[in-house]
Amino acid sequence: MSGQDLVIIGGGPGGYVAAIKAAQLGLSTTLIEQDKLGGVCMNRGCIPTKALVSTVEILQNIQRAKEFGIMVQDYSIDFPGIMKRKDMIARRLSSGVEQLLKLNEVKIIKGEGQISEPGIVEVVDAERNKEVLKTKNIIIATGSKILPLPVPGIDNEGVINSDEALSLNELPSRILIVGGGVVGIEFACIFQALGVKTTIVEMLPRILLPVDAEIVSRLTQLLKRRGIEIWINSKVKEIKKKGYLLEVVISTPEKEERLESEKVLLAAGRIPDPGKINITQLGLELEGKAIKVDERMKTNIPGIYAVGDVVGKIMLAHVASREGIVAVENIAGKDSFMDYRVVPNCVFSLPEVASVGLTEEEARRQDNHIKVSKFPYLANGKALGMGETEGMVKIVAQAETNVLLGIHILGAHASDLIAEATLALSMKATANELVHSIHAHPTLAETIAEAAEGIVGRPLHIFRG
């Protein structure tokens, strides 16, 4: 039995970042991971899908090349090559994480972590060999798992989850995606761009429900214009085998519909997954299915912390990483806490969506005295030059003080532009301060400055009487 300052169970973006930070702060640290380092995000989520998004962006540029004065005579899609590149990127990043951990002298154990009691972690490897670790502190970072859907027929061949969608050997002719959240929308954009007839079925009144309604409305129009069929307020009742196809029975507000598809992708979300940790035996307090923590990521049991999707706060990789840092800093004696008020959210759709802070609807519910300003990509020189004129920046601010409440972006590179907005909101900046910051020209970032001009007065490059 060996002694440690810290043992972390789970090597995803919460666990491995916590391990590196702990080592930097001088804590002897062991990281336990039963699968690939980097977790779902790096191996079966964020990184692989973004690699595919980059591929289809190039494909769309080829298809539009004539607009830019370039004639492309012939091209073809090498789907196995596309998937090979995606796998290579994920492997390279996972290998990089392993090297970082080793360079920081973090001990890595391949296996399944279990907590027999506070301060004692048992690790069982693939050959069922057991190792017992004694530690002062434990961080649970076991992540999440795909939400199971109680739908008859989900065991039929051709019904796949997001992991399996990233392992396809060939493109289907048609795909129906159950769920209009971030995962569903991103996969819809990828498959449609690759020539697959794509349908989304969402049980809620609109796709991407947490996103600003006006932004979602515009994105929905763009997706439909590109040929993606979207059913809202619709629930999948059953999936039946019909020859080589699948028949999906859905209930809509009007009637029951039967849709045919070669593949059905289940993308209805994820739920916290504590793995093999015996929650009841330990006496860990829960919030629903998530492990309950305070703002310092402490559970109700001294010496045990939890971070990432398993705590069920905001299931994003960058949130998990920050939670891991907060937990470690508190273990190291610092007074650190988690603030969820300013978290950027990105959807890698085509075009992208990114937001931070309050939506217009949320702001109006909290305070009727707000200002809203919008600036279109169409009036931005860089966007015109790029041929990326679909989009807008929307700013929500307090009416009396011009303090920024929320910034929402639809358009090319929205996921990069949101960094400025996140910094501004975290500093409680005003629209005036954005305006007074000189933005380089010509850049897409000028759209943010122009939208801010609309809060303090009027934008310069569109006319408002």
The total number of structural domains in the chain stands at: 3
Active site residues: 441
Q: Is 168 exposed, middle or buried, given 0-12, 13-18 or 19+ CB atoms closer than 10 A?
A: middle
Domain containing residue 71: CATH number:
3.50.50.60
Q: What percent of the chain has pLDDT over 70?
A: 99
Q: Is residue 259 in a domain? A: yes
Q: CA 377, 200, 142: angle at the middle one, nearest 5?
A: 90
Q: Examine the domain organization and report whether 7 and 135 are in the same domain.
A: yes
Q: What is the pLDDT of residue 465?
A: 64
Of 243, 268, 293, the residue that ends a domain is 268
Q: Examine the domain organization and report whether 176 and 219 are in the same domain.
A: yes
Q: What is the pLDDT of residue 1?
A: 43
Q: Is residue 340 in a domain? A: no
Q: CA 44, 47, 52: angle at the middle one, nearest 5?
A: 95
Q: Examine the domain organization and report whether 243 and 391 are in the same domain.
A: no
Which tens digit of pLDDT belongs to each residue from 146-199?
988 999 999 999 999 999 999 999 999 999 999 999 999 999 999 999 999 999
Q: Is residue 465 in a domain? A: no
Q: Examine the domain organization and report whether 319 and 434 are in the same domain.
A: no
Q: What is the pLDDT of residue 463?
A: 80
Q: How many helices (H) and strands (E) does the chain have?
A: 14, 24
Q: Examine the domain organization and report whether 230 and 302 are in the same domain.
A: no
Mean pLDDT across the chain: 96
Please give the residue range of the domain that contains residue 248: 159-268
pLDDT band at 114 (very low <50, low <70, confident <90, very high): very high
Tokens of 25: 């702060």
Give which of 227, 230, 188, 228 is closest to 207, Cα–Cα.
230
Of 331, 364, 380, the residue that ends a domain is 331
Asked if pLDDT for residue 65 goes beyond 50, the answer is: yes
Contact between 86 and 48 under an 8 Å Cβ cutoff? The reply is yes
- For 313-464, where are the E strands, in sequence order? 345-347, 353-357, 370-376, 392-398, 404-410
Q: What is the pLDDT of residue 128?
A: 87
Q: Examine the domain organization and report whether 142 and 21 are in the same domain.
A: yes
Q: Phi, psi at residue 411, to the nearest 5°?
A: 150, 180
Q: Is residue 437 in a domain? A: yes
Q: Examine the domain organization and report whether 13 and 132 are in the same domain.
A: yes
- Mean local confidence (pLDDT), 382-392: 97
Q: What percent of the chain has pLDDT over 90?
A: 94
Q: Examine the domain organization and report whether 250 and 288 are in the same domain.
A: no
Cα separation values, 454 from 341, 390, 393, 413, 416, Å: 24, 20, 11, 22, 22
Q: Is residue 447 in a domain? A: yes
- Mean local confidence (pLDDT), 75-92: 96
Q: Is 127 exposed, middle or buried, given 0-12, 13-18 or 19+ CB atoms closer than 10 A?
A: exposed
- Mean local confidence (pLDDT), 386-402: 97
Which tens digit of pLDDT belongs to each residue from 262-306?
999 999 889 999 998 999 999 999 999 999 999 999 999 999 999
Give which of 423, 413, 364, 367 is closest to 393, Cα–Cα.
413
Q: What is the pLDDT of residue 430?
A: 98
Q: Examine the domain organization and report whether 261 and 278 are in the same domain.
A: no
Of 221, 245, 268, the residue that ends a domain is 268
- Mean local confidence (pLDDT), 208-215: 96
Q: Examine the domain organization and report whether 281 and 256 are in the same domain.
A: no
